[in-house]
Amino acid sequence: MTQEEKQLLLKDLCARLPYLENWVQHADKDYVVTGYGHGRVSLLSNIFSSAVGPCPLIEEIKPYLRPMSSMTEEEYLKYSETRDWRYVDDDHYEYFDTLETFDWLNEHHFDYRGLIPMGLALEAPEGMYKTE
C-alpha cells in the first residue's frame, strides 16, 4: 500500500468515526473501528463487547463499505436532498455535493471515494449496515 493510499484510507475512516458500526476486516476477522492514533486503529470485536481487539496498522485493515450502486430508491431521494442545485449557464443547472452530502454518505457507509475498486475496502455484505 502506498503512502497516498494510506492517507486516503485514513481520511475515509476518520470521517466515519462519529457513526457507529464502522466495520473493518483484519486478519480474516471482522471488527468495529473505535478510534485511530499513532498509526494504529482501535478495534472492538463487536459493538456489544468491551473486549478490545488488536490495534493494527492502517494498512492491515479493510473497511466494509457499500457501493454507490447499492443505494435504494428511498436513500437516493434523501441523498438528493443533501445536494445543491446551481445555475451553470443558460438554462442549465447541475447538482453539487455539499458538506451535508458527505456527512450523509459517511453515515450510510457509501464508498464515494472508490476505495472498493482500488482494493482498499471490501464490499459490505447485504444487511451489514441497515438501510432503514
Within-domain flag for 102: yes
Helix H or strand E encompassing 10: helix 3-16
Within-domain flag for 111: yes
Within-domain flag for 131: no
Q: Given a cut of 80, is residue 24 above it in pLDDT?
A: yes
* Sign of the alpha-carbon torsion through 86, 88, 91, 97: negative
Within-domain flag for 132: no
Within-domain flag for 22: yes
Q: Given a cut of 70, is residue 47 above it in pLDDT?
A: no
Q: Given a cut of 90, is residue 97 above it in pLDDT?
A: yes
Of 85, 75, 83, 80, which is closest to residue 107 (Cα–Cα)? 75
Within-domain flag for 76: yes
Overall number of domains in the chain? 1
Taking the C-alpha atoms of residue 120 and residue 16, their distance in angstroms, rounded to an integer, is 15
Dihedral angle of Cα 122, 123, 127, 132, to the nearest 10 degrees? 110
Bigger pLDDT: 10 vs 118: 118
Within-domain flag for 38: yes
Q: Quick check: 86 and 69 in contact, CB under 8 A?
A: no
Q: Please tell me what DSSP assigns to residue 46.
A: S
Within-domain flag for 104: yes
**pLDDT value of position 40:** 80
% pLDDT > 90, the chain: 50
Domain ranges, residue 94 = 3-123
